[in-house]
Structure 1
């Protein structure tokens, strides 16, 4: 029984609980008042309760006596056990002190002057024995590995020259390989708790690799010795060699291929084996060694052939080797490979591939020394690209070599140039040098005294505009940009080509566009025909006399023509470039690759590839800009010529017509000679400088403007009834003079020279009519039918004047009916 329960039962009775119990008992026993009145029910219940209470009281006294006895016995036992526990505690402390004393006696570490105890000496000896046993096992494993390695190497060295190496010759190597695998497996399960690996497997793997390398070197030495009898590394005349020398060479060659074949089988499951199939064919690796030694002697030592400024020497040396030994590789080595497990290899390509590390090593050593010399760096890059192209043209690729993969393609070989181009720092240095050189060439072209002279030769062929002759600067810019194209079109990757396009070519074309645009801006600022009136500006402040002379007359027109020719010719050239297969492929690649699109999208002078995709060409945006510049120059030329002719016409148009005294005939004024001469000079210059189609277009704009100006000023602005028939005849004569002047200035290069002047000539014909003819013209133009008017025009020779225009012209005559 729990103490809490004992405590609960020991408490005195609760009076309120007793009352509640009595009430509940009565309620349960007597459910109504009638039950109380029935007999002695209440007295009986009381007696029953009293009897029950007496029984419970007797049980209580009995329980109380039992509890008292139990408490007394429990106290006695507790006292006894407490005493026993105290005695045990004292005994524990005594035993602990005794153990401590004994342990101090067993160890000498706590007492510096005390000698080691016998137990300590025995334990130390046991540890030493275990360590020595471990070392012994370690040394025995190493000794076994070294013994196996030495035996297999000696077995191969002592192999009879008439015998071929076989799998049985490598039995000790297989045993060494098995030992290494066993130890490695055992050590992989061991854990020293430090997290560090056991060195023994690594050491055994090194022995295994060195053993294989010794086997390879042993057989390679035999092959090199045999090849030297054939005059290797000089070109080999195999047919002229003795039978014995050829037999030794073949035997040594086959031994090496057999060794490599056995090695591929033995190392098939060893992923960490350092000699991989991509290292190359063993016999050809051996033949490369003398070649590499000669290369090192000539191009990596102190000889005169080792020059940084002559990279073409060592490139040519390697190319010569590939050419000189190709016949030997194709006819001899390839035949030996056909009878070996490596019959799929192409001997010449494999030999050439093994020569490439020599060039790569030379480039990696020499390029850092020439990064500060842009011309020499560029020369090295171009020679390297030429070297790669020469090998590709000779038929070299990774297909048919030990570097071939299942998906290899001939174009997978990036070339030795990738050593430079793939290095970001080196490529940026080269690109910066090319930019500076090209910009210097551009400045030389622009600053040349004859930069804006139009060439006189007819050697340029530009399709439909083949008559357009460029300025010297435009032609030189074309040559400069094409030279840049020739330099970078051989680059193997489109990323590098795009960098050249954006960083070198486009800036030159943008600079030239800006130069022409600035020339036109300057012309507009200096020419009086383009300067707008500014309120408050002082007269004569816009330009000096020299500036006016430079922009006036044929000299000013010549400047505009040169600007037009430079822009238009360059636009045509760029259109042709855009259709070139090289730029079409480059543009297609840019549209297909997100990395290239992001670069081109940042250049305003190039189209947005994300918008146009494959439509158009790469130079469309620049062509558009240059064409806009040419149109601007053309508009300025028309405005300049028209402005000068109109300026000279002022004296003629606002001067009363001269008449012959006594006759009243109007004669041609001398003031007309200046504008006619001006127009003739300009048209002659245009005809001599520009092609026929451009000349025709410009002439029609100029003549139409001047013709309309004369018609308005000389005829229509006169007012109604202000001109006589004789003055009308003078207008006709002057109009015909303008036409004839234009025809002579253009030299017959433009058809229908009279076209732009037709309205003026028609007006002169109408105004020159007399009497009945004039009255008929007035009647038909005002009251006649359309058919009558057309018949009248045909009879009179009118070609481009409407009925309303004819009426307006006729009203100028003084005899027009009112």
Structure 2
């Protein structure tokens, strides 16, 4: 049996080897699938047989298992294959039926298409004839509509004429309003001749009604002593005919308000077509249209005598029209506003309120007068661009006018004043140039003045904490005045340009202080050197306060949001982030330069002081300390006589610094001096002679000079 088993095992082994050889041959015969099949077979043999030769006896069982699985798969394939032909046959039959149906449908579609084409060809003449008839009907309808519109215009025109003949002003105004509404409705029409005819008719009747109401209104105003040129000497007391005049005034104001719609429409049309006249165009360019609604019609009429006076005095060849006296016409406009306030509030405003008009009579009058001033300022500003003195004077007067207009006359901030005229590119650039030029001239003057380095508050201790020299205080006052001038500008980008100018001036002044400091560096303890140090500290303190000011914080946010190149140039992402989060300030760069200059000057001052102290300390360092009595033998601690000159020098210099420097600088100075003196005594003096260790305990303790 053992021999038989061995023989069987040999046979199985040989059979297995032949199978593997066969698999290898198959893999070579089918290279496309050989890689995957070969790997699969190798993995399978490795899993089932392994590397143990004794396990080859299981090959027969494995072969039988695989044979059975193969037979099962063949039966399944045969079963499926036997059921496939009937299904395929049924599918082919269905496809054939569908093809036949599709051919039938295509035949019907071609037949119907041919019939439809023949029908359309037969109906085409009818369609052409019908289209011509419809075009004729449409053409006739448009002509009829055109004629109806023309007839309506004629009817409205006749109605206005009839109403004016019978003095029915209200009916005439309603007819004119109907014309205005019709004109608005035809704004998108291509009938230009009809539009022109309607507009001319509207303008004709509107002018007649407006002129008639204007004449009556001016008569009533004359009876009420309008215009009020000078300050009223007495209140507006009612006259004998006051009730009648008041009723006439109210009637005329109400009728003029009713005529406002057509007046605004015609004004817009004239302005769009360039027929508004040069003055109207100048005002329209000087005033932002988005912020300037049309003036109330009654106020326009009330402004006529004032406008005539203003143009007579300040636009003609009169002596009052002089470029070096802009305050004349600016003051005149403010006086008229103030003088007319009572009349507008007592006489006109109640009528507007009863008519339901949401209008302030006083503000409307100010707007009308302001339009005249805007026209005059715009004209003068363009003519004075090449005269620095006159241009600077004009800017000063305009700023003062704007301030009084907003404060004394309560002119709304939402309405434009005169400042927007200064924002025009050429005017703004000229303003910046003049501001820079005048500031530089003033800096030269203040630095060369006789009392430039003395404080005007030196005799008042309570007001002289910073001990700022007169030149530094004058310079910061100059910057503050510049700030007040551009603070009210309505444009943040323009404000940022002035801020950039201020930063340039501060840096220029710092450079000038540095130059003067280098000239005075030979004597750091001199009065001028200390004054320069106080000036640097004063400017740094003021700029730090400005960094926390609400106005400059708002400018900081505006600079970040606008990405202003003038203010934010050379700043990295980190610095921009600090500005956006309000952690930094717009003056950080200048403060760093000023602090560096302050530190250098203070260090040079302390070094100079220590030289004197060290010179006075030489006898003290040469004492024979071993010959001195022990501190235990002394009843009281005393100062060595050789140390007295040194300590007197320290005292005198500290007193001098206290009198010359501001409190904050003196704090830094005496702390720095004490630190240097400590190092000198406990390091330098002891290092020169090791026997002087008792110095620390004989004259001074280490803590006596600590601060």
TM bucket by the smaller chain? Answer: 0.5 to 0.7
TM-aligned CA distance change 1:511 to 1:153, over 3 Å: same
Q: In 2, are the aligned partners of 1:634 and 1:698 still within 8 Å (CA)?
A: yes
Q: Find the aligned partners of 1:267 and 1:522 in 2 and give their Cα distance.
A: 69
Q: Find the aligned partners of 2:371 and 2:461 in 1 and give their Cα distance.
A: 46
Q: Find the aligned partners of 1:265 and 1:712 in 2 and give their Cα distance.
A: 93
Residue 435 (structure 1) shift: 0.9
Residue 373 (structure 1) shift: 2.1
TM-aligned CA distance change 1:224 to 1:204, over 3 Å: same
Residue 245 (structure 1) shift: 3.3
- Report what 2:696 is aligned to: 762
Q: Find the aligned partners of 1:640 and 1:469 in 2 and give their Cα distance.
A: 22
2:205 alignment partner, one of 188, 211, 233: 211
**Secondary structure of the residue that 1:433 maps to in structure 2?**
helix
1:108-257 aligned at under 5 Å gives the runs: 155=162, 158-160=165-167, 165-167=169-171, 171=175, 188=191, 201-202=195-196, 204-234=198-228, 237=236, 239-240=238-239, 242-243=241-242, 244-257=244-257
Residue 437 (structure 1) shift: 0.5
- Report what 1:442 is aligned to: 443
1:367 alignment partner, one of 374, 381, 391: 381
Q: Find the aligned partners of 2:482 and 2:268 in 1 and give their Cα distance.
A: 50
Q: Find the aligned partners of 1:485 and 1:250 in 2 and give their Cα distance.
A: 48
TM-aligned CA distance change 1:560 to 1:253, over 3 Å: closer
1:523-562 aligned at under 5 Å gives the runs: 550-551=522-523, 554-555=525-526, 558-562=527-531
Q: Find the aligned partners of 1:671 and 1:457 in 2 and give their Cα distance.
A: 37
Moved more, 634-643 or 255-264: 255-264
**Secondary structure of the residue that 1:240 maps to in structure 2?**
coil
Residue 502 (structure 1) shift: 0.9
Moved more, 484-493 or 434-443: 484-493
Spell out, residue by residue over 1:693-723, the C-alpha distance to the aligned partner (whole angstroms, 9 max, x if none): 6435433433443454355555442356xxx
TM-score when normalising by structure 2: 0.63
The reply on whether 1:639 has 2:633 as its aligned counterpart is no
Q: Find the aligned partners of 2:671 and 2:177 in 1 and give their Cα distance.
A: 96
Q: Find the aligned partners of 1:264 and 1:370 in 2 and give their Cα distance.
A: 35
1:473 alignment partner, one of 458, 471, 479: 471
1:389 alignment partner, one of 391, 397, 403: 403
- Report what 2:434 is aligned to: 433
1:486-497 aligned at under 5 Å gives the runs: 486-497=484-495
TM-aligned CA distance change 1:580 to 1:715, over 3 Å: closer
1:202-601 aligned at under 5 Å gives the runs: 202=196, 204-234=198-228, 237=236, 239-240=238-239, 242-243=241-242, 244-260=244-260, 278-340=293-355, 342-394=356-408, 396=410, 410-421=412-423, 423-454=424-455, 457=458, 467-503=465-501, 505-521=502-518, 550-551=522-523, 554-555=525-526, 558-591=527-560, 593-596=561-564, 598-601=565-568
Q: Which has the higher contact order (CA 8 A, sep 6+)?
A: 2
Q: Find the aligned partners of 2:509 and 2:314 in 1 and give their Cα distance.
A: 44
Q: Find the aligned partners of 1:183 and 1:583 in 2 and give their Cα distance.
A: 49
TM-aligned CA distance change 1:576 to 1:224, over 3 Å: same
Residue 285 (structure 1) shift: 1.3
Q: Find the aligned partners of 1:176 and 1:676 in 2 and give their Cα distance.
A: 98
**Secondary structure of the residue that 1:285 maps to in structure 2?**
helix
Q: Find the aligned partners of 1:460 and 1:618 in 2 and give their Cα distance.
A: 33
Residue 460 (structure 1) shift: 8.4
Q: In 2, are the aligned partners of 1:385 and 1:417 still within 8 Å (CA)?
A: yes
Q: In 2, are the aligned partners of 1:145 and 1:176 still within 8 Å (CA)?
A: no
Aligned length: 526
The reply on whether 1:686 has 2:661 as its aligned counterpart is no
Q: Find the aligned partners of 1:260 and 1:708 in 2 and give their Cα distance.
A: 89
Residue 520 (structure 1) shift: 4.5
The reply on whether 1:612 has 2:626 as its aligned counterpart is no
- Report what 1:695 is aligned to: 666
Q: In 2, are the aligned partners of 1:371 and 1:429 still within 8 Å (CA)?
A: yes
Q: Find the aligned partners of 1:461 and 1:151 in 2 and give their Cα distance.
A: 86
Spell out, residue by residue over 1:186-210, the C-alpha distance to the aligned partner (whole angstroms, 9 max, x if none): x64xxxxxxxxx6564355344334
* Structure 2 unaligned spans of 5+: 1-146, 277-288, 629-638
TM-score when normalising by structure 1: 0.56
TM-aligned CA distance change 1:602 to 1:269, over 3 Å: closer
Spell out, residue by residue over 1:256-308, the C-alpha distance to the aligned partner (whole angstroms, 9 max, x if none): 22333677899999998999993222211111111111111222223332222
**Secondary structure of the residue that 2:293 maps to in structure 1?**
helix
TM-aligned CA distance change 1:437 to 1:332, over 3 Å: same
Q: In 2, are the aligned partners of 1:381 and 1:417 still within 8 Å (CA)?
A: no
Q: In 2, are the aligned partners of 1:149 and 1:211 still within 8 Å (CA)?
A: no
TM-aligned CA distance change 1:456 to 1:416, over 3 Å: closer
Structure with larger Rg: 1
Q: Find the aligned partners of 2:668 and 2:254 in 1 and give their Cα distance.
A: 81
Residue 459 (structure 1) shift: 5.6
Residue 612 (structure 1) shift: 2.4
Q: In 2, are the aligned partners of 1:156 and 1:215 still within 8 Å (CA)?
A: no
Spell out, residue by residue over 1:380-410, the C-alpha distance to the aligned partner (whole angstroms, 9 max, x if none): 223223323323225655xxxxxxxxxxxx5
Q: In 2, are the aligned partners of 1:233 and 1:291 still within 8 Å (CA)?
A: yes
**Secondary structure of the residue that 1:166 maps to in structure 2?**
helix
Q: In 2, are the aligned partners of 1:311 and 1:383 still within 8 Å (CA)?
A: yes
Residue 318 (structure 1) shift: 1.8
Q: Find the aligned partners of 1:594 and 1:335 in 2 and give their Cα distance.
A: 46
Q: In 1, are the aligned partners of 2:678 and 2:702 still within 8 Å (CA)?
A: no
Q: Find the aligned partners of 1:427 and 1:640 in 2 and give their Cα distance.
A: 49
**Secondary structure of the residue that 1:411 maps to in structure 2?**
coil
- Report what 2:688 is aligned to: 717
